Amino acid sequence: MTLVDDFARPRPVPDNLVPDLTGANAFTGDRVATAVVDRHAPWARGRAEALGARVWDPRVLKAARDAQRHTPELRTLDRLGREVCDVDFHPAYHELMALGFGSGVHSLAWTVDRPGGHAARAVLSYLWNQVDGSTACPLGMAYASIPVLRSQPELAPWARALAVEGYDPADVPITEKSAGTIGYFMTEKHGGSDLRANVTVARPVGRRGPGETYLVNGHKWFASVPMADCYLTVAQTEGGVSCLFLPRRRADGGLNGITVKRLKDKLGNRANASSEIEYHDAEAVLVGEEGQGVRTILSSAEYTRLDFAVGSAGLMRAALSQALHHNDHRTAFGAPLAALPIQAPVLADLVLEWAGAAHLGFRVARAEDAHDDVAERLVSRLLTPVAKFWNCRRVAGVTEEVIQSIGGNAYIEEHDCPRYYREAPLNAIWEGTSNMMVMDVGRVLAREPKAVEPVIDEIRPVADEHPLLADALAEIEELVTAPEDTARYLVAKIALATQAALLVREAPTVVAEAFIASRLGSGWGPGYGTLRGLDFPAIIDYGRLA
Ligand X SMILES: Cc1cc2nc3c(=O)[nH]c(=O)nc-3n(C[C@H](O)[C@H](O)[C@H](O)COP(=O)(O)OP(=O)(O)OC[C@H]3O[C@@H](n4cnc5c(N)ncnc54)[C@H](O)[C@@H]3O)c2cc1C
Interacting residues toward ligand X by CB under 6 A: 183-187, 191-193, 222-224, 266, 269, 274, 426, 429-430, 433, 435-436
Q: Which is nearer to ligand X, 222 or 421 (CB)?
A: 222
Q: How far apart are CA 284 and CA 163, in angstroms?
A: 21
Q: CA–CA distance from 264 to each of 200, 276, 499 (Å)?
A: 20, 7, 36
Phi/psi at 136 (nearest 5 deg)? -60, -25
Q: Which is nearer to ligand X, 76 or 435 (CB)?
A: 435
Which H or E element spans position 286?
Answer: strand 274-287
| Closest C-alpha among 336, 216, 340 to residue 281 | 216
End-to-end CA distance of the chain: 20
Check: CB of residue 138 under 8 Å from CB of residue 274: no
Q: How far is the CB of 199 from ligand X (least distance, A)?
A: 14
Classified as helix, coil or strand, 231 is strand
Q: How far is the CB of 25 from ligand X (least distance, A)?
A: 31
Q: How far is the CB of 196 from ligand X (least distance, A)?
A: 11
Amino acid at 524: W
Q: How far is the CB of 225 from ligand X (least distance, A)?
A: 7
| Closest C-alpha among 426, 355, 357 to residue 386 | 357
Burial of 531 (0-12, 13-18, 19+ CB in 10 A): buried
Q: Which is nearer to ligand X, 245 or 528 (CB)?
A: 245
Q: Which is nearer to ligand X, 261 or 266 (CB)?
A: 266
Q: How far is the CB of 146 from ligand X (least distance, A)?
A: 17
Q: Which is nearer to ligand X, 135 or 274 (CB)?
A: 274
Q: Which is nearer to ligand X, 223 or 494 (CB)?
A: 223
Strand locations in 27-95 (E): 73-77, 83-88
Q: How far is the CB of 499 from ligand X (least distance, A)?
A: 23
Burial of 261 (0-12, 13-18, 19+ CB in 10 A): middle
Q: Which is nearer to ligand X, 321 or 391 (CB)?
A: 391
Q: How far is the CB of 275 from ligand X (least distance, A)?
A: 8
- Non-local CB neighbours of 103 within 8 Å, separated by 6+ positions: 47, 50, 51, 124, 128, 165
Q: How far is the CB of 221 from ligand X (least distance, A)?
A: 7
- Residues shown for the chain: 546
Q: Which is nearer to ligand X, 222 or 542 (CB)?
A: 222
Q: Which is nearer to ligand X, 36 or 271 (CB)?
A: 271
Q: How far is the CB of 43 from ligand X (least distance, A)?
A: 33
Q: Which is nearer to ligand X, 131 or 186 (CB)?
A: 186
- Non-local CB neighbours of 373 within 8 Å, separated by 6+ positions: none
Instruction: Classify residue 191 as left (phi > 0), alpha (psi -120 to 50) or beta.
Output: left
Residue nearest to ligand X (CB): 192
| Closest C-alpha among 330, 246, 333 to residue 282 | 246
Check: CB of residue 101 under 8 Å from CB of residue 24: no
Q: How far apart are CA 118 and CA 141, in angstroms?
A: 15
Q: How far is the CB of 246 from ligand X (least distance, A)?
A: 13
